[in-house]
């Protein structure tokens, strides 16, 4: 074995990043005791003593939990709520009765009784069809393990005095253990089990500790004291990083830290120019997680629905889609949510559907074109969306529209679905606004004609640029030809925005350009008042908006209209 | 004995904290209290037990039936239904 740290082999592990941030530190490997409890019996006659032992254990557990509470005093309400749940489990009357019965009637020692009774409920709760409820099995295990440890006469595993820059690597870190972690000492958490909705994840986000969960065999592959880098955003753990990776992550960390400082400043503000003009800030979402950043936005400009189709082994049913759409609408509350119908094509394969292999998938049978072909699939999605519409403010948007024919075709399908729902007496919001993505040049060129056919539109700048410049944006070889700041892009944006504003219809941007502060001024100057982006970018865009007035923006936009190359435009925008 | 049905309206359903709150409220009454997931045709379980309530899988949109039997049954039902309908401060 080589013992020189510099020569240890680098290893990259992957898991689910649940709490954002980058951390450097040294591994502290913590394997929670796996209490294997065999059924153990005692001689009849000592029932009262054993029942007393069980009651004492519960009392001790309560004292421990109270201690955790006092540590949590300055933590978010979430942490307290978690411990309320633990106390409720600890004093559950059904568990109490079953454990006592096992001790008194069956002469089972307390540890065996606790293990047996808790395991029954752990498996019932863990099997719940609702993932949020199934996660609560972790809390039952937490309370069970606490009781078993106390019954063995061991004191609590103390994670509250770890050295600085410790990265805790655990197999099954309990939420109550995590609650005891000293903030500022633990640089990151890596855990073998768990997912984004686990209490552990919620606590980690509350403490702002970068965290990666569900990293298989982490405690086996990582040794105590090994140098680690944890990327809580992308869910990556680097063991014994080499210099190149180390410096790449040092950059990422400093960017993240800067971003965090900014976010604290601007996160919860509205999008306002220096002169008070409002710019509505939206977020793009791609799943139904609980909080993608609803509190710091005005609307959801793009709800991608592909995950429903990609993450499963068969076409999602109407009910599955309905549940997800309803959940998103309810989580978003009074904020409008723009659902984009399935946008998929030959570049991505679905395991249960054979999509044609095409020479040019981005110019092929994708998105709306595929939906027109697979009418049942399309109608199922529209039915689910319309049925969910009564639970929030839904808008429906069609991708890859290339002509007015496409718009009319899609709308006629929607009308047919509405009629079916009417016939079945199924409730839906009849006034759901219908819009299109503007990403194909042939529709961008006739924005003034298509505007009368729709309620709103959103410009997908990534695809628009790719089609306008005839450049595959994923091909690194030709990156220089993908010019999102080209004069052609801004002129195209100008004509679209002008047509929609003149008609009094909402026009937004949901592509990457909306998240680029360099473009913000010119976009506002062109007349855009709705910018939708990934939620990580809202703070920096809000900050950028606060730097200029509408007059500044309009001057910049007019000037850009007459610049002849992307280079000129970028240079000009960087200078103003 | 009296029974009443209602729909779970809070986004996260009867999971951790809402379940703990429901148990805490139920324990204030003498009556025997049970809760049943009507949507999934479940059996009635003890409403004063958090582990039983978690086992109901009563997520949002599910209909549950509460039954109370005892001297304070009317008050108990009123109180618990109000709590569920209020959405446990989640909405």
pLDDT value at A215 more than 50: yes
Distance separating alpha carbons of residues B69 and B59, to the nearest angstrom? 25
Strands A299-304 and A337-340, sheet pairing: parallel
Residues of A in contact with B88 (CB under 8 A): none
- Mean pLDDT along residues A5-23: 83
Residues with Cβ < 8 Å from A2, sequence gap 6 or more? A8
Q: What is the pLDDT of residue A200?
A: 78
Task: Identify whether B15 is a catalytic site residue.
Answer: yes
How far away is chain B from the Cα of A202, in angstroms, using its nearest Cα? 13
pLDDT digits (tens, 9 = 90+) for A251-260: 999 988 887 7
Q: What is the pLDDT of residue A530?
A: 98
Q: What is the pLDDT of residue A193?
A: 83
**Encoded tokens for A424:** 């079945």
The reply to whether residue B50 touches residue A89, judged by beta carbons under 8 angstroms, is yes
| Count of beta carbons in the 10 Å neighbourhood of residue A40 | 13
% of chain A exceeding 90 in pLDDT: 62
Distance separating alpha carbons of residues A356 and A150, to the nearest angstrom? 61
Please name the residue of chain B whose CA is at the shortest distance from the CA of residue A136. Answer: B16
Q: Which of A81, A95, A290 has its CB closest to that of B16?
A: A81
Q: What is the pLDDT of residue A25?
A: 95
Look up tokens 């009637």; give the residue.
Answer: A105
pLDDT digits (tens, 9 = 90+) for A372-399: 999 999 999 999 999 999 999 999 999 9
The reply to whether residue B51 touches residue A140, judged by beta carbons under 8 angstroms, is yes
- Mean pLDDT along residues A504-531: 95
How does residue A4 score in pLDDT terms, banded at 50, 70 and 90? very low
Nearest Cα neighbor of A298 from A263, A341, A334 is A334
Question: What domains, with CATH codes, occur in chain B?
Answer: 2-89 (3.30.1340.10)
CATH among 1.10.274.10, 2.40.40.20, 3.90.79.10, 3.40.50.920 for A47-151? 1.10.274.10
pLDDT digits (tens, 9 = 90+) for A438-482: 999 999 999 999 999 999 999 999 899 999 999 987 676 787 898
How does residue A3 score in pLDDT terms, banded at 50, 70 and 90? very low
Helices within A342-439 (DSSP H only): 368-373, 375-388, 404-424
- Residue-range domain boundaries for chain A: 5-32+157-260, 47-151, 272-575
The alpha carbon of B81 is separated from its chain's Cα centroid by a whole number of angstroms, namely 7
How far away is chain B from the Cα of A121, in angstroms, using its nearest Cα? 6
How far away is chain A from the Cα of B66, in angstroms, using its nearest Cα? 18
pLDDT digits (tens, 9 = 90+) for A68-119: 766 555 445 566 777 888 999 999 999 999 999 999 999 999 999 999 999 9
pLDDT value at A158 more than 80: no
pLDDT digits (tens, 9 = 90+) for A240-279: 999 999 999 999 999 888 877 876 778 888 999 999 999 9
pLDDT value at A291 more than 60: yes
Report the range out of A54-68, A144-158, B58-72 with the highest average pLDDT: B58-72
pLDDT digits (tens, 9 = 90+) for A296-354: 899 999 999 988 887 677 899 999 999 999 999 999 999 999 999 999 875 666 778 77
pLDDT value at B8 more than 70: yes
Residue ranges of E strands in A175-252: 186-191, 211-213, 227-231, 236-239
Look up tokens 């503007």; give the residue.
Answer: A438
The reply to whether residue A88 touches residue B50, judged by beta carbons under 8 angstroms, is yes
Q: DSSP label at A41?
A: B
Residues of A in contact with B46 (CB under 8 A): 93-94
pLDDT digits (tens, 9 = 90+) for A543-559: 899 999 999 999 999 99
Higher pLDDT pick, A70 / A436: A436
Distance separating alpha carbons of residues A343 and A367, to the nearest angstrom? 4
Residues of B in contact with A128 (CB under 8 A): 54-55, 57
pLDDT digits (tens, 9 = 90+) for A187-211: 999 999 877 666 678 778 777 789 9
pLDDT value at B44 more than 90: yes
- Mean pLDDT along residues A179-190: 80
Q: What is the pLDDT of residue A18?
A: 86
SS3 B44: coil
Distance separating alpha carbons of residues A37 and A103, to the nearest angstrom? 15
Helices within A344-398 (DSSP H only): 368-373, 375-388
**Encoded tokens for A561:** 């209209």
- CATH class as words, domain A272-575: alpha beta
The topology under which CATH files domain A5-32+157-260 is Glucose Oxidase; domain 1 (3.50.30)
Q: Which of B14, B51, B57 has its CB closest to that of A92?
A: B51
């Amino acid at each position: 074995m080589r013992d020189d740290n510099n020569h240890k082999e680098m290893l990259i592990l992957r898991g689910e990043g649940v709490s954002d941030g980058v951390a450097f530190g040294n591994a502290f490997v913590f394997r929670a005791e796996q209490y294997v409890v065999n059924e153990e019996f005692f001689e009849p006659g000592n029932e009262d003593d054993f029942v007393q032992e069980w009651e004492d254990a519960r009392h001790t557990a309560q004292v421990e939990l109270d201690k955790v509470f006092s540590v949590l005093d300055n933590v978010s309400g979430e942490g307290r709520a978690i411990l309320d749940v633990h106390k409720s489990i600890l004093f559950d009357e059904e568990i109490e009765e079953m454990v006592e019965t096992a001790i008194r009637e069956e002469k089972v020692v307390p540890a065996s009784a606790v293990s047996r009774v808790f395991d029954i409920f752990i498996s019932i709760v863990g099997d719940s069809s609702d993932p949020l409820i199934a996660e609560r099995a972790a809390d039952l295990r937490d309370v069970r393990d606490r009781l078993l440890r106390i019954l063995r006469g061991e004191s609590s595993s103390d994670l509250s005095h770890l050295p600085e820059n410790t990265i805790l690597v655990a197999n099954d870190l309990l939420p109550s253990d995590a609650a005891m972690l000293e903030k500022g000492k633990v640089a990151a958490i890596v855990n073998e089990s768990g997912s984004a909705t686990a209490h552990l994840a919620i606590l980690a986000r509350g403490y702002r500790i970068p965290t990666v969960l569900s990293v298989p065999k982490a405690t086996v592959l990582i040794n105590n004291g090994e140098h680690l880098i944890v990327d809580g955003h992308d869910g990556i753990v680097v063991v014994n990083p080499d210099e190149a990776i180390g410096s790449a992550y040092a950059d990422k960390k400093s960017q993240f830290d800067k971003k965090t400082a900014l976010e604290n400043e601007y996160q919860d503000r509205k999008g306002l120019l220096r002169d008070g003009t409002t710019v509505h800030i939206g977020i793009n979402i791609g799943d139904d997680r609980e909080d993608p950043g609803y509190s710091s936005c005005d609307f959801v400009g793009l709800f991608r629905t592909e995950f429903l189709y990609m993450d499963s082994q068969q076409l999602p049913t109407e009910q599955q889609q309905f549940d997800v759409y309803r959940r998103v609408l309810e989580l978003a509350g009074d904020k409008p949510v723009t659902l984009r119908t399935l946008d998929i094509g030959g570049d991505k394969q679905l395991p249960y559907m054979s999509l044609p292999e095409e020479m040019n998938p981005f110019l092929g049978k994708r998105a709306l074109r595929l939906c027109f072909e697979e009418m049942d699939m399309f109608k199922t999605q529209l039915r689910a969306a319309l049925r969910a519409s009564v639970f929030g403010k839904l808008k429906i948007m069609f991708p890859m529209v290339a002509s007015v024919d496409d718009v009319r075709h899609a709308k006629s399908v929607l009308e047919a679905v509405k009629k079916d729902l009417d016939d079945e007496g199924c409730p839906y919001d009849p006034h759901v606004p219908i819009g299109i993505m503007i990403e194909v040049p042939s529709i961008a060129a006739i924005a003034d004609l298509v505007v009368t056919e729709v309620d709103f539109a959103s410009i997908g700048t990534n695809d628009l640029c790719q089609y306008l410049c005839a450049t595959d944006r994923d091909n690194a070889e030709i990156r220089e030809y993908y010019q999102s700041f080209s004069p052609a892009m801004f002129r195209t944006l100008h004509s679209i925005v002008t047509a929609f504003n003149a008609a009094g219809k909402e026009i937004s941007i949901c592509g990457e350009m909306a998240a680029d502060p360099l473009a913000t001024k010119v976009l506002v100057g062109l007349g855009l008042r709705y910018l939708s982006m990934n939620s990580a970018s809202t703070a920096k865009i809000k900050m950028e908006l606060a730097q200029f007035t509408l007059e500044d923006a309009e001057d910049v936009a007019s000037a850009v209209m007459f610049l002849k190359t992307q280079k000129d435009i970028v240079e000009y925008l960087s200078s103003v | 004995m009296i029974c009443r049905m209602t729909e779970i309206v809070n986004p996260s359903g009867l999971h951790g904290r809402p379940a703990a709150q429901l148990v805490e409220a139920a324990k204030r009454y003498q009556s025997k209290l049970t809760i049943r997931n009507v949507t999934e045709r479940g059996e009635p379980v003890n409403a004063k037990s958090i582990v039983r309530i978690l086992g109901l899988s009563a997520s949002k949109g599910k209909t549950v039936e509460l039954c109370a039997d005892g001297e304070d049954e009317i008050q108990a039902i009123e109180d618990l239904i109000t709590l569920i309908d209020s959405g446990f401060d989640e909405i």
